Structure formats: C-alpha cells, structure tokens
Amino acid sequence: MARVELYQFAHGAKQWRFTSARKAVTHNNVTYYPVRGLSRGNIEDADIDKCDTEITFPYPMQILNAEGDDLQALFIKKIYYKSVTVTILELYKGETLVIHIGRVIQPKFDDDENTMTLVSSTAETQQNKNILTRKFQKTCSNKIYDRICGLNIEDWSVEVTVTAISSLTVDFTVNPTPVLDENGDPVLDGEGDPVTEIKAYPNNYFNRGVLHESGIFTSVISSTSNTVILGREHYGLQVNDVVKLAPGCDQTRTGPCNILFNNTLRFMGFPNIPNSNPVNDQIIK
C-alpha cells in the first residue's frame, strides 16, 4: 500500500476530511474523500515553537463535507480567523503518523493559477489561551465567560429560533423555557407536564454578547428584543435554526457586571483612576 496523506479540517463541530489519494480512503471507520489538485508545501520549522505549511486547493470549487458544508466559503467570507484547525496524517499499512497540527492563519487566492492556499501554523494552536496582559485601567481586563471572569456561558444562554436573516441582521423568537420553583425544580401542571413560559429580553440585553451553536461563536454588536446585529456572518446559519444567545458586558463595574451578572467581586478594572496624571499635567510646587 502506498503512503497517502489524510487532511482533517474542523470549524466548531463541523468537520471536513480529504485525502491526497485518487480514491476515497476509509480509516478507523472514517472516510476521507479525494480532491483533485489538493497538495501541500513543505512543513517548515521556523523555530522551536512554530511550524508552518501551506495546503492548496483548486479554486473556485465547492469543497463539501458529508453534511454539504462548503469549506471554501469560510475563507471567501473571512469567517476563518482563529477558528479553523488542521490535522495532517500520513497513512501507511493501516497506521497513521501525525505530521502537522495547526490553525489556519491566512488564506491566499491566486486567480491566475485558480488556487486557494491555506497557511497553517502550529504557533496559533499552541497559544490558544489568554496571555496575561493586565493593566491599570478603568475598564475590566477580563473577557466575559473566561476563567477569570468566572461566568458559565451555558447558565446565561437563551435558546432562540431564527426567523429571518438579512446580511448581518438576524431576527429571532425566544423559545419557551420551564418555569422553576424556589428550589430550582420544574413547576408541573395538573397533568404532571412542565409549565413553560416565554421570557422577554429588553433592547440592548445581548449587546457585546455572542450567538453560538455547534461550537461556533459569533459576536453580537447590538440587539433589540427580537433582533441581533452580528459582527460577521455566522457560517451556515439558516432560518428556523435553533441557536443560543448570551448577553455581553461593557467592561464597566456599574454596567452588566453589577446589574445583570452580580459579578463585581471579579471585576478587574480600576474605575477610580483620575482622568489626568498630575505628574504630567500640573506644576507641583
């Protein structure tokens, strides 16, 4: 059996699997599909922490997974940033060797050669964490729902159904949720069925929050009671999809941190810092 390479791409819960072989390859009950023109460059070790490679596909061309999701659409619509991971395996005699694990940091399109080249770097994957960069500033330096902020995004997420999509504007209706008693248990009706309610959320409630589903997160710029405006297109989002919305924070102590989340004990800003530095702005006698 000749050596073949297997390529695994992931964006949230969505997966794409391809092979350099001429025919489909099944390994560990997973099928990798051939893409004519698929190739990669050398895997270059720039330093001890970084290893890059370039993976080239024909362009334009739909590169679909089993569910019909187009991998190329991620990069044409610039949704890829820090969100698409790559694993390259070498398969020989039924055994695989991992030769590269990375994250797509740049797509390059060549209209003359009709190719799309994805630059993958291990450095992005190894640094997939918040680097400590604390500063003395008025606003909080935490990222909402991170480890230091301490809030669990699932506790604050609201399940909604998408009713309309227009560019970056998404309309939705809030799905019913069970009514809970003072102990947090569902309230039952006379027939033993859970009592549900449809909660209402005011304008701006989801500002600076996120829309998320299947491991894919998209920032929310602003919101009304039944509409959100996204920071970029949410890949694959369609009318009638059930997704989750989570509220955001304006990084101030008096904003949602206090009013909504009651989380000021974890506030990491310094709101009482003076606006001007007397050492620089005043003559001290």
> Is 8 in contact with 16 (CB distance < 8 Å)?
yes
Residue 254 has pLDDT above 80, yes or no: yes
234 & 122 share domain: no
Residues 7-16: tens digit of each pLDDT: 999 998 889 9
- The domain boundary, picked from 110, 126, 142, lies at 126
* 255 located within any domain: yes
pLDDT average, residue stretch 4-32: 90
Domain boundaries, position 74: 4-126
Residue 223, pLDDT score: 95
112 & 160 share domain: no
95: Cβ–Cβ under 8 A, 6 or more apart, which residues?
none
Residues 54-90: tens digit of each pLDDT: 999 998 888 888 888 888 888 887 776 668 999 999 9
The residue among 149 and 43 whose pLDDT is bigger is 149
Residue 183, pLDDT score: 78
Q: Which of 208, 81, 82, 79 is nearest to 142 (CA)?
A: 208
- 52: number of Cβ within 10 Å: 20
42 & 104 share domain: yes
Residue 278, pLDDT score: 66
Residue 190 has pLDDT above 90, yes or no: no
* 176 located within any domain: yes
Max mean pLDDT range (21-30, 185-194, 272-281):
21-30
For residue 143, CA distances in Å to 123, 125, 184, 258 come to 22, 19, 28, 15
Beta strands 169-174 and 158-166, pairing class: antiparallel
Residue 285 has pLDDT above 80, yes or no: no
16 & 68 share domain: yes
The residue among 262 and 271 whose pLDDT is bigger is 262
* 220 located within any domain: yes
Residue 189, pLDDT score: 79
33 & 78 share domain: yes
Residue 127, pLDDT score: 54
83 & 166 share domain: no
Residue 41, pLDDT score: 87
* Percent of the chain whose pLDDT exceeds 90: 39
> Is 157 in contact with 149 (CB distance < 8 Å)?
no
For residue 257, CA distances in Å to 148, 150, 158, 189, 250 come to 13, 11, 18, 36, 8
161 & 254 share domain: yes
CA angle 34, 35, 40 (to 5 degrees): 105
Residue 109, both tokens: 């399109």
Residue 39 burial by Cβ neighbours in a 10 Å radius (0-12, 13-18, 19+): middle
State the total domains in the chain.
Answer: 2
101 & 180 share domain: no
* 283 located within any domain: no
Max mean pLDDT range (11-15, 135-139, 158-162, 188-192):
158-162
* 146 located within any domain: no
* 136 located within any domain: no
Residues 97-138: tens digit of each pLDDT: 988 888 888 899 988 889 999 988 886 555 555 555 567 788
254 & 166 share domain: yes
Residue 142, pLDDT score: 87
178 & 247 share domain: yes
* 139 located within any domain: no
31 & 101 share domain: yes
* 137 located within any domain: no
Q: How confident is the model at residue 45 (pLDDT cuts 50, 70, 90)?
A: low
200 & 239 share domain: yes
